[in-house]
Structure 1
Amino acid sequence: MLEVKHLRFGYVPGKDIMKDVSFTIGKGEFIAVGGRNGCGKTTVTRLLMGLETPVEGTLYYKGDDITKLSPSERGRFIGYVFQQPDRQMFRPTVAEEVAFGPEQLGYTKSEVKEITEDALARTGISHLAKSYPPSLRRGEKQRVAIASALAMKSQILILDEPTSGQDGKETREMLILLEELRSAGLTIVLVTHDMEIIASHCTRAIIMGYGTKAFDGTPEELFTKRDDLYELGLTKPPCVELAQSVPGIGYCKSMKEFEERMMARREAL
């Protein structure tokens, strides 16, 4: 769906913070973008969305060059949820906020109403339709931002640290929602520091390091075959470390999977 070729970018002229970054994003993938603080992972997603312009390089969507498209034009196929989602909200109610995109696309009032109600239902916030967005909890604000992307018929959803600052229940609920959206055909790109989320939910990880792409592959490859995790600002999740300490258990992507394999081994003895 999306192809990035040889991106180079710097906030200060003549001083690159990344160079020669290339990768592709396929339909239905759940991709983590990770790395240590300041490595450029959020900058990569801002370049995808058009919030920053590369010094060099090209971006393609379904074969079409989108490098010069504005963020509003890319919003027709890429949705972006900021780390502080309230910064992208400006309307008095949740329903009106979600309706803004379809209104700009020229849908009729009845069509906008139908699209908005569907997006609210899919994100589980129909009961918040008349609420004032700034008054919501952070997790609810993120769902409003996701609903706004769904209302625009976005095919790719980019989220910047969507689980930071949330408790365990909110994190689980957010991940369940993202898995449901992915099952329905949406592509998910997640900027995250959470190694457990990368291991348990993501199909692929793109790791930024030292001004360029340092890794692009499966979480299993990342956590079992790289010996430079510390240098990249990463750690092995507990489920992987525990599984590696028990001969014959194999790679486990979650604590639940590790516990199930240990129970099966115990019952087999």
Structure 2
Amino acid sequence: MLEVNNLRFGYVPTMDIFRNVNFIIKEGEFIAIGGRNGCGKTTITRLLVGLESPAEGRISYMGEDITNMPASKRGQFIGYVFQQPDRQMFRSNVATEVAFGPESLGYSKSEVDDIVANALERTGISHLREAYPPTLRRGEKQRVAIASALAMQSKILILDEPTSGQDGKETKELLELLRQLNAEGVTILLITHDMEIMAGECSRAIIMGHQSVAFDGTTEELFTGDYDLHDWGLTKPPSVELSDAVPGLGYCKSMAEFKERMLAHLAQK
């Protein structure tokens, strides 16, 4: 679906942030992108959506070279939610903000109205259609940005640290929405430092190390393999630490799974 070949990038010409970055994103995946601060996680995604240009390498979508395609055109298949989503909003209310994309593609007013209504309903913010975006809570702003991506029929949705600074309720509701969209076929890329979310929600992890991809595989392989997680700025989530301490229990990707297995394990004794 989306293929990255030998990407090299640096903000200073003589100093690369990363080089020789290669990976393939398949349709319907739910992927975490992790690593230490400054390793290039956000930069990688900015390259994918066209907000930066690589010094070398190629990016392809469905077999088409999009390396030099402008961000405005990539928005028709890749949606992006900034870490501070209010920075990508500029219209007077939620409905007109979500309408901007389909309007720019030349849809009629009635078509735009239908697209906006559907996107707001799918993201659970129909009641906010007349609200002024800067006054919304961060979680609500994220949903506006997600709705804007859905209105463009985006097949890939990238979110930069979407749960940082949110309370447990907002995080839970956002993850439920992302699960729902992923089940509907939207490919999700999540930049995150949250190991519990990485293990519990994502089936695959791409970890940036020292100027390149240090790991690319399942999250179970990441947290059970013989890797120096600390070197990559990672730790094992509590569910994995606890399941490691119980012989025969097996890998548990979440605390809910650990509790369920532990109860079954104790019942057998």
Range into which the TM-score falls when normalised by the shorter chain:
over 0.9
How far off its partner does 1:268 sit?
Answer: 1.9
In structure 1, what is the equivalent of residue 204 of structure 2? 204
In structure 2, what is the equivalent of residue 117 of structure 1? 117
Deviations 1:153-195 (A, max 9, x none): 0000000000000001100100000000000010000000000
In structure 2, what is the equivalent of residue 181 of structure 1? 181
How far off its partner does 1:226 sit?
Answer: 3.3
Q: Distance in 1 between matches of 2:26 and 2:186?
A: 10
In structure 1, what is the equivalent of residue 141 of structure 2? 141
- The question of 1:224 aligning with 2:224 is answered yes
TM-score (norm 2): 0.99
TM-score (norm 1): 0.99
Where in structure 2 are the equivalents of 1:28-177 lying within 5 Å?
28-177=28-177
Q: Distance in 2 between matches of 1:97 and 1:226?
A: 47
- The question of 1:251 aligning with 2:229 is answered no
What SS does the aligned partner of 1:51 have? coil
- Letter in structure 2 aligned against 1:17: I
Q: Distance in 2 between matches of 1:226 and 1:3?
A: 28
- Letter in structure 2 aligned against 1:102: P
- Letter in structure 1 aligned against 2:54: P
What SS does the aligned partner of 2:33 have? strand
For structure 1, list consecutive stretches of 5 or more residues without a partner in the other structure: none
In structure 1, what is the equivalent of residue 194 of structure 2? 194
- Letter in structure 2 aligned against 1:98: V
Corresponding residue pairs, total: 269
- Letter in structure 2 aligned against 1:159: L
Q: Distance in 2 between matches of 1:15 and 1:193?
A: 25
Q: Distance in 1 between matches of 2:87 and 2:262?
A: 46
- Letter in structure 2 aligned against 1:93: N
What SS does the aligned partner of 2:229 have? coil
Q: Distance in 2 between matches of 1:201 and 1:16?
A: 31
What SS does the aligned partner of 1:60 have? strand
Q: Distance in 1 between matches of 2:189 and 2:262?
A: 32
- Letter in structure 2 aligned against 1:64: E
What SS does the aligned partner of 2:239 have? helix
- The question of 1:263 aligning with 2:263 is answered yes
Q: Distance in 2 between matches of 1:258 and 1:32?
A: 21
Q: Distance in 1 between matches of 2:113 and 2:227?
A: 52
Moved over 2 A (4+): none
Q: Distance in 2 between matches of 1:89 and 1:173?
A: 22
Deviations 1:39-74 (A, max 9, x none): 000000000011000000000000000000010010
What SS does the aligned partner of 1:24 have? strand
Q: Distance in 2 between matches of 1:45 and 1:228?
A: 25
How far off its partner does 1:265 sit?
Answer: 1.3
Where in structure 2 are the equivalents of 1:233-244 lying within 5 Å?
233-244=233-244
Deviations 1:81-134 (A, max 9, x none): 000000000000000000000000000000000000000000000000000000
Q: Distance in 1 between matches of 2:227 and 2:96?
A: 49
Q: Distance in 2 between matches of 1:158 and 1:227?
A: 26
Q: Distance in 2 between matches of 1:189 and 1:248?
A: 32
Q: Distance in 1 between matches of 2:120 and 2:226?
A: 41
Q: Distance in 1 between matches of 2:32 and 2:227?
A: 19
For structure 2, list consecutive stretches of 5 or more residues without a partner in the other structure: none
Q: Distance in 1 between matches of 2:154 and 2:11?
A: 28
Q: Distance in 1 between matches of 2:11 and 2:226?
A: 30
